[in-house]
Amino acid sequence: MLPIVISLAATVILLVWMGFFMMGSLPLLVLRHDTPLDSRFIRGLFNVYYLAVMLTGSAAALCYVWSGRFVFAVGMACIAALAFALRRWIIIPRMDFLRHTIPAADSSIFQFRRLHIMGMMLNVAQLGAVAWSLTKLGF
């Protein structure tokens, strides 16, 4: 019983992180994204989000292995791996590239905003996947 409780607690912590960053990044869409300070703050927020999801998703995956729920463990490992890939190769590197070109080009501002929205949509998809799996696969 204890492994299942710890697994669910790790999942709740993951859901809290995902929900917090989803709600926290939504108001940032009103920023114009035209200054390096705006882009640096948004990039930092996404970086912290991906680190939090990687750590809590990995911990949840290990807890699910411990409790014998291997399907959930694979799902949580996929969430953590996606966060790693987004942080390492997709969202953060593109934000870093665009941040340095923002003051000079208006197209960079549009691309950065689009990247911000794409990161938020991926967050919502991850949050939905975790919430759906808890309702459909159940304990």
pLDDT tens track for 1-35: 888 899 989 999 999 999 999 998 888 888 777 77
Structure confidence at residue 13 (pLDDT): 94
Instruction: List pLDDT tens digits, range 99-132.
Output: 888 776 678 888 888 999 999 999 999 999 998 8
- Tell me the domain boundaries of the chain: 2-136
Query: pLDDT value at position 105?
Result: 67
Q: How far is CA 98 from CA 35, 47, 94, 102, in A?
A: 11, 15, 6, 6
Instruction: Enumerate the H helices of 68-138 as residue ranges.
Output: 70-85, 91-99, 106-136
Alpha carbons 80 and 42: distance in angstroms, whole number: 21
pLDDT at 75: 93
C-alpha–C-alpha distance, residues 21 and 124, integer Å: 10
Decide: pTM greater than 0.85: yes
Q: What does the pLDDT look like over 64-100, one tens digit per residue?
A: 999 999 999 999 999 999 999 999 999 999 988 888 8
pLDDT of the residue at 138:
59
